[in-house]
Structure 1
Amino acid sequence: MTEPQTDPKYYDVVEATWPCLRCEKLGDITLRVGAGGGSRVSAATCDALVSDAQIAQAEAAMQDFDQPRLFMIRDGQDALDGQLERLGYAVMDPVALWTVAPSMLTDVEIPRVTTFCLWEPLAIQREIWATGGIGPERLAIMERATRPKTSLLGRWDDKPAGAAFVGVHEGIAMLHALEILPHQRRKGMGVWMMRQAAYWAAEQGATELAVLCTRANAGANALYARLGMQQSGGYHYRIKR
């Protein structure tokens, strides 16, 4: 089955709702300084075909940033993908984009005291994120994101269960950093968190709710499929070790 091609607007939503520390232009290459926030805010992107020499310049800059030599390959960039493969770059972390209309997830009322929206995040949410490796560098990304934005807190059996972050850009809400505590998994908490994100997105006037997920995360991808979300494209990285 042919994979859907990603509408470029979604890449803009990623940039706006999960922003890097700063960007620098090197011709048709955009370099990102992620300040330890992970691949999404550190990967370079190309706006057009570039030469091997330009890629070498970008590599030197990324190393000056103390970051890995990492590129994001967007849909339709087959030539760049092949070029980087020839230069010794390996595929890393293919990512799926899932989207849904908020109204598809607001048809069920969320049980009382199961989910909450709040900004700033509470200490307990920061602790939940920390259990999944979402530390200060990624919390700084949430702080950098412009409003509207919110954090989600989930509770189950009267105890903290999960945390997530949601931002809106140009009518599209995107959920990031969904983390459920290990002992609270397989209890439906992820469903309630996604429904809460949809309720909040609708309140902001968003017409879509989106989430990114590595294709290797079978459990999360199955959750989004069960919720009726549609795969709307994605991307992958190329890294040079």
Structure 2
Amino acid sequence: MEFTTGGRLEVRITAQDVGKRVSVRHLNTSGGSPERFTDAVGVLTSWQGGVLRITRRTGEVVEIAESALVAGKVIPMTPARRRGPAATLRELQEIAARGWPARESERLGGWTLRAAGGFTARANSVLPLGDPGLPLPAALERVTAWYAERGLSACVQVTTGDAAGDALLDAELERRGWTSERHALMRTAALAPIADTGADTGWVRLTREPDEAWPAAYGRTGATAGDALAVLTGGPSVWFATVPGEAGEERPAAIARCVVDGRWAGFAALDVSPARRREGLGTLVMARLAEEALREGASAAYLQVETDNGAAAALYDELGFTTHHAYHYRREPLR
């Protein structure tokens, strides 16, 4: 990594470069490595109070004290490398929104305001795909009022990493005190290898709507059962997979959901009973849903998983999923 001009290390970035992709070298203060310096590459998402925040392509945020900077420069934005099916950021965002549809939505320029009684952040947040058509302060005022009318706090879904276009929005929301939460990854894979896992999928029951036991196993419906059902059953072509529990078990052994939309099959709501884990049931339901999606003409798969869900990440790695982009949510500050 070269930072020198005429043999000298230079810091050639300022707070005016927020939103740009940068490469920096800084003093290693972690204590976990004998190396004196370490490097960071990603989008400069903020520079406030003497601290830089750099978001890497994986969604990881690195905080660096301004006083620790040794060198830095702006570098070209490049698309994230991935081995999964080729797709643009916008294509996947729009596909995912159709596959997990809010019960109510409204357009604000290029933004979509979504609400579903508070059932999941995905269905109760703004999806900013372009300019809102208003100055940002006015747009945010409109957003907060719209969610307040529905008894919800305003929330914005923000993409991060090298492939993202929301770095400036993210930095501005942070400056205004909107808190960061629920960091997640959009992951993609070829569909056929998921179906061709060798799993005996005859154990899996497929239905177009969830039975009474399915939502209970999912465990995220709560007091908004009607809103949850509307979201879960929404989408172009939805399938629910269930592995029934053994005799005496009240809940299914495993469940999952898939929505087919053109070439894409979106997987969600994968859950395995704690008593039945490490039996390959997660692979089983994914394979069965993939088989059905292939019959409907899909060829690519996507899913969204929070970054701290290590068990799910291990399964998805085995099934060939790779990270396409990262995202998180910004929620309005408490009043």
Same fold judged by TM-score > 0.5? yes
In terms of mean alpha carbon deviation, does 176-185 or 43-52 score higher? 43-52
The 2-side partners of 1:115 and 1:179 are apart by: 14
Say which of 111, 125, 133 aligns to 2:220: 133
The 1-side partners of 2:320 and 2:178 are apart by: 35
Structural mapping, 1:50-61, within 5 Å: 50-61=135-146
Describe the superposition over 1:63-96 as per-residue Cα deviations: whole angstroms up to 9, x where unpaired.
1121112001122210000010011011111111
What is the DSSP-based 3-state SS (H/G/I as helix, E as strand, rest coil) of the residue aligned with 1:223? helix
2:154 equivalent to 1:69: yes
Residue of structure 2 equivalent to 1:92: 181
Instruction: State the identity %.
Output: 24
What is the DSSP-based 3-state SS (H/G/I as helix, E as strand, rest coil) of the residue aligned with 1:177? strand
Describe the superposition over 1:191-220 as per-residue Cα deviations: whole angstroms up to 9, x where unpaired.
112112211211111011111101111111
Give the drift of 1:23.
1.3
Residue of structure 2 equivalent to 1:48: 131
CA contact (8 A) 1:201 1:209 kept: no
2:226 equivalent to 1:144: no
CA contact (8 A) 1:115 1:154 kept: yes
2:265 equivalent to 1:173: yes
Q: Where does structure 1 lack aligned partners over 5 or more consecutive residues?
A: none
The 2-side partners of 1:189 and 1:81 are apart by: 38
2:209 equivalent to 1:120: yes
2:300 equivalent to 1:214: no
Q: In the superposition, relative to structure 1, how do residues 185 and 145 fare at CA in structure 2: closer, same or farther (>3 Å)?
A: same
CA contact (8 A) 1:13 1:170 kept: no
The 2-side partners of 1:90 and 1:231 are apart by: 24
Higher relative contact order (CA 8 A, sep 6+): 1
2:288 equivalent to 1:196: yes
Give the drift of 1:224.
0.5
Higher helix share: 1
Q: In the superposition, relative to structure 1, how do residues 45 and 134 fare at CA in structure 2: closer, same or farther (>3 Å)?
A: same
Q: Where does structure 2 lack aligned partners over 5 or more consecutive residues?
A: 1-55, 59-79, 82-87
Q: Which one-letter code corresponds to 1:121 in the other structure?
A: P
What is the DSSP-based 3-state SS (H/G/I as helix, E as strand, rest coil) of the residue aligned with 1:128? helix
- TM-score w.r.t. the length of structure 1 is 0.89
The 2-side partners of 1:211 and 1:177 are apart by: 10
The 1-side partners of 2:297 and 2:213 are apart by: 29
Residue of structure 2 equivalent to 1:161: 253
Q: Which one-letter code corresponds to 1:26 in the other structure?
A: L
The 2-side partners of 1:183 and 1:237 are apart by: 32
What is the DSSP-based 3-state SS (H/G/I as helix, E as strand, rest coil) of the residue aligned with 2:169? helix
What is the DSSP-based 3-state SS (H/G/I as helix, E as strand, rest coil) of the residue aligned with 1:39? coil
In terms of mean alpha carbon deviation, does 221-230 or 78-87 score higher? 221-230
Q: In the superposition, relative to structure 1, how do residues 121 and 2 fare at CA in structure 2: closer, same or farther (>3 Å)?
A: closer
Number of aligned pairs? 238
CA contact (8 A) 1:118 1:150 kept: yes
- TM-score w.r.t. the length of structure 2 is 0.66
RMSD between aligned residues: 2.1
The 1-side partners of 2:220 and 2:262 are apart by: 29
Which structure has the greater CA radius of gyration?
Answer: 2
Give the drift of 1:140.
1.9
Structural mapping, 1:93-108, within 5 Å: 93-108=182-197
CA contact (8 A) 2:266 2:301 kept: yes
Structural mapping, 1:5-44, within 5 Å: 7-44=89-126
